[in-house]
A = this chain, B = another copy of it.
Amino acid sequence: MRYRRRELILKYTVELFIKTAQPVGSKSLIENYHLDYSSATIRAEMNALETQGFLEKPHTSAGRVPSKKGYEFYVANLRERVVSDNIRHQIQTLIEAKTRSVDEMINQTCEILSQMTNLVSVALGPKTTGEVLKSVHIVPLDKHSATAIFVTNQGYVEHKTFMIPMDSSIEEITEVVKIFNERLIGTKISDVVAKMELLRPLLKDYVVEQEVLTNAFTEAFIRYARDRLSLYGKESLLEQPEFINDSEKLRKLIGILDDPSKLRELIIGDGELKINIGDADEDLSLISANIQLPGDQVGQIVLVGPKRMDYNSVLWALEYVTDELEKYFEVEREINDE
């Protein structure tokens, strides 16, 4: 036998609970896995597992539920390599489609992931640290308004439609943009606002209403600070039994999913494959993986779900997906470099 009995019982308990979402009793364990022991024996083992802290009981006469520690042990020692054919197939189809757009690739991947796992998948854009302004454009819309566009070296675009100040002409504004393009390109996003301030005296010579103008531009940069993340598959997660029956939990979950800063807070991990199993009453686990994007950027894909999730398939799926994607991006680069 590959596992010692006690570990096997822990393994089965975790797996059965993941499947049924019900506390697991000794009898149901025997039934489901055809164990050759009496229920008393299993009970004794489960008791031991409980005192060791791997299992816990909702109440005296209920079955057992894996604890945080129990899940962690399961994830670390007890799961087996399985990548579902289904997900493998879907990812391969995606890759064969030879989509050129990076966003679209990530996008589709996240859709597939959350469909397969019934979890929410989060795509986090590359870290803004070190991000640099690449170019500034202005597109006049009519006499009264124009759209300013800012692009970073990571291909992130922010835009802002603003009213043209009464005393300014479009020519003056294009002049300002020209100056911005000359002086601000290459500046770190975090420094742009400060540097813009320094340019004010210079701008005064060209443009009458420069103050209003730079203010408008500054506003656009405030938005850069925001988290760039997209969520996929929110609906199916909300249909999970833990949230259907517990509207308090449901509201809490939504509060987190809808608030990027709260979400970001939970995604502390930065390592290759990080598993963050919900503490105490917080019934939420996050699995995150980094992914190497073209242009030396690093994105992150995070799966969010209840503590009771199918860690085995989820982890392998995520690993498989990021591997395949990185391979794809990598191959493209090598062909380009030859």
Interface string of A148-185 (1 = CB under 8 A from B): 01010111010111111110000000000000000000
Q: List the B residue with the shortest CB-CB distance to A215.
A: B100
Contact A151 B139 (CB under 8 A): yes
Given contacts A135-B139, A163-B332, A336-B164, contact A102 B145 (CB under 8 A): yes
Binds B, one of A11-19, A38-46, A197-205, A248-256: A248-256
Contacts of A145 on B, CB cut-off 8 Å? 102, 155, 294-295
Contact A147 B139 (CB under 8 A): no
CB < 8 Å: which of B151, B213, B219 contacts A104? B219
* Nearest chain B residue, comparing its CB with the CB of A143: B336
A169 to chain B, nearest CB (A): 10
If A141-B154, A151-B139, A244-B247 touch, whether A101 touches B235 (CB-CB below 8 Å) is: no
- For A329, the closest partner residue in chain B by CB is B163
A31 to B141, CA, bound (A): 60
Are B294 and A160 closer than 8 Å at their CB atoms? no
Sample 8 A-B pairs with CB under 8 A, ordered by A number: A100-B164, A100-B216, A139-B151, A142-B294, A142-B295, A142-B296, A235-B259, A238-B254
